Structure 1
Amino acid sequence: MLWVGEPFTAPGRGFWAKLEGRNPGGIKDRPALHMVRAARERGELRPGARIVESTSGTLGLGLALAGVTYGHPVTVVTDPAIEPLMTGLLTAHGADVAVVDAPHPVGGWQQARRDRVAELLAAEPGAWCPDQYHNPDNVAAYRPLALELIAQLGRIDALVVSVGTGGHSAGVAGVLREWFPELRVVGVDTVGSTIFGQPALPRLMRGLGSSIHPRNVAYPLFDEVHWVAAPEAVGAARALAVSRWATGGWSVGAVALVARWLAAATAPDTRIAAVFPDGPQRYAGTVFDDGWCRARGLLGHRLPERPDEIAHPGERTVTRWTRCRTVLDPLAGAGPLRSAGDRSGPARAAR
């Protein structure tokens, strides 16, 4: 745990960051090991069978770790945007890396990767896919992380967490809500992601957001959602690096930006926990590379102090950091899961 205070935050304000980048591969070590172990115990994954999965990188490292631990060959399906460092690490740890060459016309690179996984599974009888987007074991894997937060912080008033497959947000928030019924859960997504009802757009940021609708996303747990744009995540990750030493990539920058705002917007004694999914190493050639960032227009932007706000995800397409206190499941209809301030019923919207 790291206390993140000034100069990154306003004087007298701050939040606690859980540094999951200190794990061997990052936060996805937890679900990778757990999903593989659970599948072996159920007989779904036979000894020595191949593991095949779609990933932007971090889960791939976790699966490579699980493959070494339990004796399984691993094939990771990814896309051309994967960082060369990540490809090298995956290969070094024994994983085969398959790169799709074209996006799906509707589901983008994410769906193209999943289609390639299906082809590889069909070609190798006995191979197994953990399907991180829809596997409930992905959610269950994060119960220990939630219990660690409780042991380390005691009381927790607010949780700031990125949302991609939905696993760690659902797993951590679900357990914390059992302990702290009034917990405020703030989801962090990326501009261009469809998870919370925005239209799919090309996305530069990896590790959060989605072009599909993962079943693991626990919409009833969220009080509000924030969409963050790539320049804002880069700016926050870099500002965090020079002020607190510990930092990370896209997800860490986006989460830190939102947690910084929440610390300033709530009472000084509000105890905020923010989950930092990984560290900065894999982003040396992207987020922390001036030339790469400059070529994509990611530098020279002033870090915003507060988000824009919309009343409903369908109000407009967001292009910069934006907050919405109406949370809905895009596949469940256009109505909100819960009206603002109402803490009864099956789902919640933000205070």
Structure 2
Amino acid sequence: MNQITTMPGPAAPAQLLTDSKRPIHTPAGLVGDTPVLWIGAPFTATGHGFWAKLEGHNPGGIKDRTALHMVRAARDRGQLLPGARIIESTSGTLGLGLALVGATYGHPVTVVTDPGMEPLMTGLLTAYGAEVELVDTPHPTGGWQEARRHRVEELLAVHSDGWSPDQYNNPDNVAAYAPLAHELVAQLGRIDTLVVSVGTGGHSAGTASVLRGYFPHLRVVGVDTTGSTIFGQPATPRLMRGLGSSIYPRNVAYDLFDEVHWVAAPESVWAARQLARSHYATGGWSVGAVALVARWLARTLPAENRTVAVFPDGPQRYVGTVFDDPYCREHGLLGHLPADDPDEIAHPGDRTVTRWTRCAHITDPLAPPRDRDAAEQALAGAAR
């Protein structure tokens, strides 16, 4: 005799809506409230792990937040007029955010990039209505970033009402990430260690400064790429995009960092691919580098330490690079199992690093020597 299973009756409409997101009227409403995921074994050692803030759940990635905030602030101040063109240098993610802002507020958008941008990203930006300007020659000292910034200046001279966010130096880039910090506090309650990639300096400074207000003893770990100048290393050719810089962004808050790790491209690729296979949640260069460092911290810090890593985007734009075997073989990125522990240097200027390396001595490379000496003495006193 067949057993009849009685299904519960339909819930009241109000009950059904309790856990649902409200309808959204503009694309801007899609940004924020991203989830947090536990990353444990087998990516980490058994019994150890960290929390990952999945910013790839924003439509375009973490920089949707800063694009919206910078544009809203500029409109409120009258710096960006209705219908005026937005022109900015980007390696990709901010471009997606600006395209979203353009659709929301009715601004045409021009993004200036370089040959390193993935074809998929160029296609997406074009599909979303942005004009893509490509520079073809790097600046002799500032590399592609400085070349892009020069092209932005040229375009601003042509478009008299044009406006550039200048993500590298605009304090609104930093302020944009207060909501991300507040989300983390609401989601996790307590945070002991924050691991963040550093490029323009916006999300590291904005998130860490707010969290320090809640947790004065918060440990902030910056993640850079080999070949980047941000923390005092010499500029060398860089394959990784989204973190690192060939210039010195003034939004980098050097005083917030307790240590910095430089990660090489093969090490980032290994971590991103391992994450994909073990936890499904992954991303590109920045995510791989941040995850590698967070993995080490989870193993070496006390088990009760609550570590959070910010994953700036998802894997989609990297299907032709990080997750493409022919590309990775061409650039020698496969078969490089990272060391269990980073190399160590006492000062960023000790030597040029080419593999995962850690330094607990943080100074601003552009600070006057007198200020730099005072900062170093303060750090030495704190260590004693």
Q: TM-score interval w.r.t. the shorter chain?
A: over 0.9
**Partners of 2:148 and 2:299 in 1: CA distance:** 40
Who is 2:18 aligned against?
A: none
Residues 6-17 of structure 1 mapped to structure 2, 5 A cutoff:
6-17=41-52
Counterpart of 1:201 (choices 236, 240, 244) is 236
Paired position in structure 2 for 1:320 = 355
**1:220-273 CA distance string (max 9 Å, x none):** 000000000000000000011101110000000000000000000100010001
User: Which residue of the partner structure matches residue 179 of structure 2?
Assistant: 144
Matches within 5 A, 1:101-120: 101-120=136-155
Q: Partner of 1:330: helix, strand, or coil?
A: coil
Q: Name 2:312's counterpart in structure 1.
A: 277
Counterpart residue type for residue 62 of structure 2: I
C-alpha distance in 2 between matches for 1:339 and 1:190: 27
- Which amino acid letter does the alignment assign opposite residue 174 of structure 1? S
327-336 vs 196-205, which moves further: 327-336
What is the rounded CA distance, in whole Å, between the counterparts of 2:281 and 2:42 in structure 1? Answer: 14
Q: Deviations over 1:166-208 (max 9, x none)?
A: 0000000000001100000000000000000000000000000
Q: How many pairs were matched up?
A: 346
How far apart are residue 340 of structure 1 and its match?
Answer: 8.5
- The yes-or-no answer on 1:290 pairing with 2:325 is yes
What SS is found at the alignment partner of 2:338? coil
Residue number in structure 1 paired with 2:11:
none
1:337 match: 375
Pick from 54, 58, 65: which aligns with 1:30?
65
Gaps of at least 5 residues in structure 1 are none
What is the CA-CA distance between 1:122 and the residue it aligns to? 0.5
Q: Pairwise mapping of residues 38-117 of structure 1 onto structure 2 (< 5 A)?
A: 38-117=73-152
How far apart are residue 343 of structure 1 and its match?
Answer: 8.4
Task: Give the letter for the 1:168 counterpart.
Answer: H
CA distances 1:98-148 after superposition (whole Å, capped 9, x unpaired): 000110011001100000000000111010000000000000000000000
Match of 2:169 in 1: 134
**SS in structure 1 at match of 2:375:** coil
Aligned residues of 1:186 and 1:225 also touching (Cα < 8 A): yes
Give the TM-score, by structure 2 length: 0.88
- Following TM superposition, by how much is the alpha carbon of 1:304 offset from its aligned partner in structure 2, in angstroms? 2.1
Question: How does 1:157-236 map onto structure 2 within 5 Å?
Answer: 157-236=192-271
Question: Hey, what's the Cα distance between the residues in 2 that align with 1:234 and 1:41?
Answer: 41
Distance 1:305 1:142 in 2: 32
The TM-score normalised by the length of structure 1 is 0.97
- The answer to whether the aligner puts 1:265 opposite 2:300 as a matched pair is yes
Instruction: Quote the offset at 1:306 in angstroms.
Output: 1.1
Cα distance in 2, alignment partners of residues 271 and 107 from structure 1: 38
Aligned partner letter, 2:195: V
Give the deviation of 1:302 after TM superposition: 1.1
CA distance in 1: counterparts of 2:149 and 2:374, whole angstroms: 30
Asked if 2 retains the 8 angstrom alpha-carbon contact of 1:226 and 1:324, the reply is yes
Letter of the 1:138 partner, please give it.
N
Give the number of the structure whose alpha-carbon radius of gyration is greater.
2
What do you get for the CA RMSD once the two structures are aligned?
1.4
